Amino acid sequence: MISLILQIGFAALCAWVLFITIDMIWALPREGGVVGAKAIAAAVEKAGGDLRGGTMMGNIVSSPDASAGTLLAACGVYCFGIPGGLLATVLVYIGNRICSDPGYAGTTGCFLATFMVYGGTKIGIPAEFFIIGMVIAILTIQGISHRHASRLLGKIWRLRK
């Protein structure tokens, strides 16, 4: 029971670090990009959050980014191993173009997460714990408190600059 909680927690931490790193590298908090992301950023800032963090949350909602890539990579590795993860990468690339997003955050996130999840299965954490871990990670960013999460993302963005 304790080992289950530790495994899920470790998978959630790995997924959180991976998707935040890839999104910061692709500069998701920098500008609006899509109109919808700007609207969500304005709403988050009105509620007392940080504008850069709100822009990143808006970009996560409006287009498949590294968080979606990590989730679908974990699903792909669970269903079919490494070829499943690469199939998920192709699907995330198509999804990025459908949502008219010119970036490659989702594609690179999915590609790197395939190897992370495969490495996790070699250590002994099954791929389904990476799926639930990624859902828990996105819950902490977008599902608990928008104000505090956007401030945390804004601080990490200022560290990157």
| 3-state SS class at 63 | coil
- Short-list 140, 9, 129, 3, CA closest to 70: 129
Q: Which is nearer to other proteins, 29 or 76 (CB)?
A: 76
Terminal Cα-to-Cα distance of the chain (whole angstroms):
42
| Cα–Cα distance measured from residue 8 to residue 129, given in angstroms and rounded to the nearest whole number | 5
- Short-list 11, 6, 3, CA closest to 118: 11
Residue 72 binding other proteins, by CB under 8 A? yes
Per CB under 8 A, the segment of 19-27, 84-92, 115-123, 151-159 that binds other proteins is: 84-92
Among 20, 66, 88, 117, binds other proteins (CB under 8 A): 88
Among 4, 122, 123, 161, binds other proteins (CB under 8 A): 4
What phi-psi label fits residue 124: left (phi over 0), alpha (psi between -120 and 50 degrees) or beta? left
72 contacts 91 by C-beta, under 8 angstroms: yes
- For residue 104, the 8-state DSSP code is -
Minimum CB separation from other proteins for residue 111, in Å?
A: 15
116 contacts 74 by C-beta, under 8 angstroms: no
Residue 36 binding other proteins, by CB under 8 A? yes
Per CB under 8 A, the segment of 16-24, 76-84, 112-120, 153-161 that binds other proteins is: 76-84
Q: Which is nearer to other proteins, 53 or 161 (CB)?
A: 53
Positions in the binding site for other proteins (CB under 8 A): 4, 8, 34-40, 42-44, 46-47, 57-58, 60-64, 67-68, 71-72, 75-76, 78-80, 84, 87-88, 91-92, 94-95, 98-99, 126, 128-129, 131-132, 134-136, 138-139, 142-143, 146
